[in-house]
Structure 1
C-alpha cells in the first residue's frame, strides 16, 4: 500500500496557449516562460488534454487528476467530491488580448451535457490591466429576438447590435451561459470558470488564424445557445483592506478580493471546498503547518480543503480568493 504524503498548498505548472489574438503581457508582467503570442495561461485545469501538473513539494510531477483521485474529499471537500467525483470543477486562467477575441457564446449546463457531455460555462472576468480605450462586448445594445439576430448576422452587421462596455482596472463581470461576449484588444484579465472548453464562435472579425486559415464559425450551435433576454452587468463591490471582501458569488463559485498590507491569518475551517488564490499584485509567503511557499503576481495556488488555516507574510499583496460555496 502506498503511503501518501500530507497535503500542502499546491502550485501547478502553467499551461500556455498560443493564440492569434494573444500578446506578450503574460511573459513581461507575469514572467511566464514562452515564445510567440500567448493568449492564455491555464493556471489550474482539469480539462481533458490540458491537465495541470503539480510544480512544488513532495507531489511535484503528479497531475491534478491523479491527486484528486488519490486524495478525494481531502483535496476538494466532501460536498464537492460527492457532486463532482474525480472531475475538478473549476478552471483558472490569465488572459492577454493583444487583439479582439472572437465574438462568442457558451452553452449552459443542460445544453452542454446534451451536446458534449460537458459542464456549461459560467465565468467571471476580473480586469487586471487595460490600454487606452480597451473595451468588452457583453450582450446586446438593445432588445432583440432570434429572428432579428439572424438578420443582422446574415447581413454582416452583427457588430451593430453588440453591447460595447468601456472598462477600467479592477472592474469585474460575471458572464452567464448564453451571453454573447468578447474580450477587447489591450485587456489583461483573470478568468474563473466552470471546467469547460466549449466555445461557439459567432464572428471573428474576418481574421485568419496563425496558419493563415479562417477559423470555423459555429452559427447554428450558437443560435441554440444564445439567451436573448438575459442581462449581465459590471459587479459593484467594495474591498476592505486585510479582510476577504466579496466580489461575487454564483451557483458554481464565490470570488473574494483579499488586499493585504500586513501579515494575515485566514481561517479556512468554514469553507466547504478547496480554496484558490490568484495573486494579482505584490507577493507573499504562505505558511500551512510547516510548509512554506512564496507566491508572486501572476501566480496561482490551491489550498486543499483539509487545511484549516493559511498564514500570509507580506507588506503588500492582493489576491482573488475562490472557493465553491
Structure 2
C-alpha cells in the first residue's frame, strides 16, 4: 500500500454530560453545547471511521484493512484480531460527571456480548480547578455487593476519588470501577468495545424526566478489586519517549518534539497512532507531509519504516500494539 499519515473524520457524540471543550479547545466542528466524545479512529459497527486525506480519501477503516491486511494492521494483529480493528481512540469532554461504571474483561464480554472486553487509559489534557476522577472502591473492605445500594448519602464513602491535573495519565484495566469527573478533558485509548455497565449516575434525570438505566448485576460480576490507582509515573523528556501504559492490549508512550525528530519502526509489526495533545507538528512519511495539531489524530500503517517530525514543543501520544504483549484471542466466528 502507499504509506502516509492517514487522517480520519471525527465522529462526534452528544452526551448528557458533554460540554463545549471539544470545539473550543480541540477545534472540533460542532455548535452543540453537549458534545462529550470525539471518536477519532473507530472500527465499532455503525461508527466506522472514514479517511479524509491523501490517496485513500473516502475509504473506510474497514476497507483499508480488507485491502491491505498486514501492511496496514501488522501481520501479528491480523492473526490475532482478523479484520477487526483492535483499538478505539477518543477525546472526551466532561462538563458534568460521567456515570460511575465498569467494563467487562475479554472472558465476560465474550460470554455475554460476543465482544472484546474493555481495558482503557486516560491522558488528562485539561482540567478545571479541583477536578476529580473516580478510580476504584474506597478501600479493600468494600466489596462489589454495595453496588446495588448507592445513593447521594453514601456515594462518597464507597468510591475512591483522585484530583487530576494536565499531564496526568491513568490505566484502567477491565473490572475497575471508574468515572471521569466534571471539568476534565482527556484522550482515551481503549480496546474496541462499547460495553459499559453503569453503576451510579448521580441521580441524574434526562430530557425525558427519566433516570438512565443501571446495570447493577452485571457490574457486580465484572468488578475486580484493585489496590493501585493506576497513575503513570513518568518524566517528559525532549525528543525521547516516556512510557505511560504497556499492557496486553496496547502500548502508549508520550514524547515532546523539539526541532526535528525521527522515529524508527523497522522492528515493530503494528500500525502506529499519534494523538496530538499539545501544540502542532509536521509529520513526514515517504516524502508525504501532513500537519497535526492539538486534538488531531493520525494513523501510520504497519509497513512504515520511519517517521520524521518537525515541531517546537508539540506533545504527542504514540500508540501501538506490541505483538510480544498482545494476548487477546481472536473471537470465534
TM-score, length basis structure 2? 0.93
Q: Is the 8 A contact 1:51 1:63 kept in 2?
A: yes
**Match of residue 196 from structure 1:** 193
**Match of residue 45 from structure 1:** 42
Kindly state the Cα deviation for residue 156 of structure 1 after the two structures are TM-superposed.
6.4
What residue ranges of structure 2 are gaps of 5+ in the alignment?
A: 323-333
Off by >6 Å, runs of 4+ in structure 1: none
2:329 aligned with 1:314: no
Q: CA deviation digits over 1:199-248, x for unaligned, max 9?
A: 00011011122444321111111111111355433111112111122122
Q: CA deviation digits over 1:47-71, x for unaligned, max 9?
A: 1111111111111111101111111
**Match of residue 263 from structure 1:** 260
Q: Is the 8 A contact 1:152 1:158 kept in 2?
A: no
How many equivalent pairs are there?
Answer: 321
The secondary structure found in structure 2 opposite 1:115 is helix
Q: CA deviation digits over 1:245-284, x for unaligned, max 9?
A: 2122001111111101111111111222100000011111
CA RMSD of aligned residues (A): 1.6
**Match of residue 233 from structure 2:** 236
2:12 aligned with 1:10: no
TM-score, length basis structure 1? 0.95
2:99 aligned with 1:133: no
**Match of residue 77 from structure 2:** 80
The secondary structure found in structure 2 opposite 1:316 is strand
Q: Is the 8 A contact 2:142 2:158 kept in 1?
A: no
**Match of residue 20 from structure 1:** 16
**Match of residue 100 from structure 2:** 103
What residue ranges of structure 1 are gaps of 5+ in the alignment?
A: none
Question: Which of the residues 292, 300, 305 maps onto 2:302?
Answer: 305
Question: Relative to structure 1, is the Cα distance of residues 201 and 10 closer, same or farther in structure 2, using a 3 angstrom cutoff?
Answer: same
2:271 aligned with 1:274: yes
Once residues 224 and 46 of structure 2 are traced to their aligned partners in structure 1, the CA distance between those partners, rounded to angstroms, is: 30
**Match of residue 59 from structure 2:** 62
Once residues 14 and 246 of structure 2 are traced to their aligned partners in structure 1, the CA distance between those partners, rounded to angstroms, is: 31
